[in-house]
Amino acid sequence: MHRVLAARYPDAHCELDFTSPFQLLVATVLSAQTTDVRVNSVTPALFGTWLTPADLAGADREALEAVLRPVGFYRAKAASVQGLAARLVDAYGGEVPRRLEDLVTLPGVGRKTANVVRGDAFGLPGITVDTHVGRLSRRFGWTEQEDPVAVEDDLAALFPKSDWTPLSHRVIFHGRRTCHARRPACGACPLARDCPSYGVGETDPVKARALVKGLVQAGLE
């Protein structure tokens, strides 16, 4: 199934825009309960104003909240990213740590965010269990667990470490484009033959194809 997803999404990648581990860390924290597109719309102004962890730690809170307002929950997110910036300065010399145990001590950072940063900023293996990965892993029969850490453990037992980061991206791409939460496009899914959940969504090929988002990115154009 992973080989099929790799063929379907050969260019699967993190869809958050970033140029440094710090930018990816902040962007991932901001992505909670919103879209990557929305986050990408505010990060140019965010990082254009506050370039470093020290800058962000010392930012005027009202000015920061104004920039983050479009991503939702902007007050809580402003507190989180300013808090994590301050901890980076105080505990890590302004550098983003590579160890998961260190990353999860930062405000607003859990295992999901830590694995995104490790995988995409540092090239270290990590399984990112977001809502898509959790949902699809259960549909695929890879796990029966609901807890993200338990899902991560089950997937880690199924796949070699070298696959962990690309697997996460491919499953997320598939969840965003084809295997939707409410109405999966089963009739346009390359995993139809192997998926134990085939039929929970639209099976008619024409109707299913109409449900697929981003046909080019989903390998259908």
Q: Which residues are known to be catalytic?
A: 112, 130
Q: By the 8 A CB rule, do 106 and 26 touch? A: no
Q: By the 8 A CB rule, do 143 and 150 touch? A: yes
Q: By the 8 A CB rule, do 117 and 25 touch? A: yes
Amino acid sitting at position 73: F
Please provide the distance, in angstroms rounded to a whole number, between the alpha carbons at the two ends of the chain: 21
Q: By the 8 A CB rule, do 9 and 169 touch? A: yes
**Closest to 46 (Cα-Cα) out of 32, 30, 34:** 30
Phi, psi (rounded to 5 degrees) for 56:
-70, -35
Exposure class string for 154-189: b at 16+ Cβ within 10 A, else e: bbeeebeeebbbbbbbbbbbbbbbbbbeeebbbbbb
What is the rounded CA–CA span in Å between residue 26 and residue 109? 9
Q: What is the DSSP string of 18-78?
A: -SSHHHHHHHHHHTTTS-HHHHHHHHHHHHHH--SHHHHHTS-HHHHHHHHGGGSSHHHHH
